[in-house]
Amino acid sequence: MRTRPLMRLTVQRFRPSSWGALPLFLGLLLLVRWVLGGPVIPWHWRFFVGGISLLVGYYTLTPLPWLWTGDDRHRLSLHRGAIQAVLWNALWLGGFAAVHALLGGPEPPRVAEAIHGFALRSNVPIPLFRVIIQLPFACLVGWFIAEMEARGLDSAVAVAARRELEIHSRESEAQALRAQLDPHVLYNALGALSELARENPAATEEALLDFSDLYRRLTLLRERPFITLGEERELLERYLAIENLRLGVRLKVEWAWPEGLDAVSVPPLLVLPLVENAIKHGVAPVRSGGTLKLEVERVQNGSLSVRISNTGKPLLAGAAIQAAGQGTGLRNLRARLALLGSGGSRLELRSEDAWTIAHLLLAPDALLEGI
């Protein structure tokens, strides 16, 4: 682990949610005091302050040499970690013992007798003896804490990696579905152009210009995960311009699309398949044509409602509705809605009197707000 993340992790140990180990260490400290003959409750404030300071040092400082790798690894090998732990813990324990010696302060009799007796017999300075008897425990405690935290970090990294892989997979699948939709749009547009060339050659040139602009927009929008509703509207206008040249007065278009919603961003090419489907299966097959109505509105929970309605050839009930919803464009659209990860986004196809209605509802988490 590098220095900066290591410091952030050390600071996190001071959060209340990370204090769970402190009572354990405090209990061990009081147990040692009791075994060595001291009272369980510290009888002098200096000893109390010194014990708490040592406890905090064990909890925050001992894991550092095991976690500091200088790279992106979360732990060191046992050999290198042990060397760093001995050097680091000897340094800070030595400083703590020196400060304790300077400040003085009484100790429980049996504790003082054990320390001073060993120092007199072995000619080891008392501060150094304190370091010697605490160093193995400090290295062991530091390894234990560092191992627990490293495992937590490994688990978090694994979860993040799986999540990122899932996101990339969903994005790739969504892009593949958008790429699949492009030829479908173009085939329908080319079919309209071929019919127009037979019936009205003079209008074909204008329609080719609209087709060129439609293809350019499809190419640009296909690579983007979100586009604004305004851009989707412009794409629809190009497509409807081609169909209008082909169908003429047989196609009547009504817009109920507030410009105030144009800044909202949505996944691209969600509305176009609905418009294609309405013209191809509803308006075009009838000699007298029909009306196409495009309605967009916000509903109370923040979702976006898109209704594409058409008259013309009626949509039969039951199995016919189900079959009509299995075309390439609508099947592709349903697959893309499933990839949005929002259970609130859905597509419904139904018939009401003379109208066939495709109702697309986009939940708030499928939108990006630009307003």
C-beta separation of 57 from 106 below 8 A: no
Q: What is the mean pLDDT of residues 336-355?
A: 80
Domains of the chain by start residue, with CATH: 3-161 (no CATH), 249-366 (3.30.565.10)
Residues, the chain: 371
From the list 37, 58, 42, the residue with the least C-alpha distance to 112 is 37
pLDDT range class, residue 159, cuts 50, 70, 90: low
Q: Which residues of 267-298 are buried (b: 16+ CB within 10 A; e: fewer)?
A: bbbbbbbbbbbbbbbbbbeeeebbbbbbbbee
Q: Which residues of 120-132 are buried (b: 16+ CB within 10 A; e: fewer)?
A: eeeeeeebebbbe
Q: What is the mean pLDDT of residues 54-61?
A: 79
Query: Any idea what DSSP says for residue 16?
Result: G
- The DSSP bridge pattern shows strands 265-266 and 290-298 to be unpaired
Residue 345 has pLDDT above 50, yes or no: yes
* CA–CA separation, 240 and 224 (whole Å): 23
Residues in a beta bridge with 200: none
* CA–CA separation, 185 and 272 (whole Å): 8
Which of 3-7, 52-56, 319-323, 364-368 is least confident? Answer: 319-323
Beginning with the edge strand found earlier in the chain, give each strand of the sheet holding 355-362 in spatial order.
251-256, 290-298, 304-310, 355-362, 346-352
In tens, the pLDDT along 6-40 reads 777 777 776 655 555 566 666 666 676 566 555 55
